[in-house]
Amino acid sequence: QEKKDLTGKKVLLTAGPTYERIDPVRFIGNYSTGKMGFALAEEFAARGAEVILIAGPVNLKTISAAIRRVDVVSAGEMFEQVMQFADQCDIVVSCAAVADFTPKEKSGTKIKRGKMDLNLELQPTQDIAAELGRRKKAGQLLIGFALETDDEACNAVLKLRKKNLDLIVLNSLRDKGAGFGGDTNKVTVIDRKEQQFAYDLKSKQEVATDIVDR
Ligand code: C5P
């Protein structure tokens, strides 16, 4: 039996990748499956919270009736939905692997194969977590993720500060069993005092419990 220690709290989560449309059949995406974010959503719900889950394109189901799910495709759509709900939430968790760039022009018809090089011009997307940091209300808790390949802790602390987060969950692609796709993760949680809490390799469900506890 889980403890219902988050009864009355409202939690907003982003999860999964975003797809940035190139033409009607192609997109720019990434390898995020949404498993970590969905595990967190279920954990928050099991602990009594009311959960709003803004999900990118994933192949996952939501189980708990306490989760209200909004499906989106692109970074722009995710931004719009998050900003609709953020100011009424006590805790906001940015777990999504949001695309950093999107095609400047989206072709209405399929781009044809040719012998010439094809150059796609990309423009930066809005940083959802950073905007949440700017809009943060007193008492609101913002949690972000950092998937790093090098200088992990240093990069994570920089992101925590830059985006005005309260906690950042770091996973390294150098750790076996951590990061995209799998059912396990190995994380270090870092707070505003730069205290680091390192956890063992665990199932994403167990990692979700550790993060919510923290
Ligand atoms: O991409 P980056 O490493 O900066 O991501 C760190 C955090 O910022 C993650 O929590 C991610 O969900 C969030 N983020 C976001 N919107 C973006 C890029 C990243 O919310 N456009």
Residue with tokens 């940015």: 94
pLDDT in tens, 92-121: 999 999 999 999 999 999 999 999 999 999
Q: Taking Cα atoms as reference points, which of 59, 44, 39, 38 lies closest to residue 3?
A: 44
Q: Which domains does the chain have, with CATH numbers?
A: 10-101+123-213 (3.40.50.10300)
| Pocket residue to mutate for ligand 1, from 40, 54, 92, 163, most atoms within 8 A of Cβ | 163
- Residues annotated as catalytic are 30
Look at residue 176 in the predicted model and tell me its pLDDT. Answer: 85
Rounded to two decimals, the ipTM of the complex is 0.94
Query: Is the minimum distance from the CB of 143 to ligand 1 under 6 angstroms?
Result: no
Q: How far is the CA of 128 from the centre of ligand 1 (A)?
A: 7
Whole-prediction pTM: 0.95
Strand, coil or helix: 20? strand
